[in-house]
Amino acid sequence: MTQAARKIRLVLDLRRAGVTDTRVLSAIERIPRELFVPEAFQDQAYENTALPISCSQTISQPLIVALMTELLEPDKRLRVLEIGTGSGYQTAVLCQLFRRVYTIERHRELILEAETRLAQLKCHNVTALCTDGTRGLPEQAPFPRILVTAAAPEMPATLADQLDDGGIMIVPIGTSVADQWIYKVTREGKGFREDRKGQVRFVPLVAGAVPAAS
Q: Considering only 12-16, 112-116, 200-204, which range has the smallest mean pLDDT? A: 200-204
Q: Is the pLDDT of residue 155 over 60?
A: yes
Q: For residue range 101-152, list pLDDT tens digits in order.
A: 999 999 999 999 999 999 999 999 999 999 999 999 999 999 999 999 999 9
**Helix (H, G, I), strand (E, B), or coil: what is residue 118?**
helix
Which string of b and e fits 203-212 if b means at least 16 CB within 10 Å? Answer: bebeeebeee
Q: From the DSSP assignment, how many helices (H) and strands (E) are in the chain?
A: 6, 9
Name the nearest CA neighbour of 171 among 189, 161, 179, 159. Answer: 159
Q: Is the pLDDT of residue 214 over 60?
A: no
Identify the pLDDT of residue 188.
97
With cut-offs at 50, 70 and 90, classify the pLDDT of residue 213.
low
Identify the pLDDT of residue 212.
63
Q: What is the pTM of this model?
A: 0.95
Output the average pLDDT for the chain: 95
User: Mean pLDDT throughout 71-85?
Assistant: 98
Identify the pLDDT of residue 209.
81
Catalytic residue among 26, 60, 87, 176: 60
Distance of alpha carbon 37 from alpha carbon 113, whole angstroms:
11
Is 26 an active-site residue? Answer: no
Q: Is the pLDDT of residue 28 over 60?
A: yes
User: What is the percent of the chain where pLDDT is above 70?
Assistant: 98
User: Mean pLDDT throughout 45-66?
Assistant: 95
Fold of 3-200: Rossmann fold (3.40.50)
**Helix (H, G, I), strand (E, B), or coil: what is residue 21?**
coil
First-last CA distance in the chain:
40
Q: Is the pLDDT of residue 96 over 80?
A: yes
Q: Is the pLDDT of residue 156 over 80?
A: yes
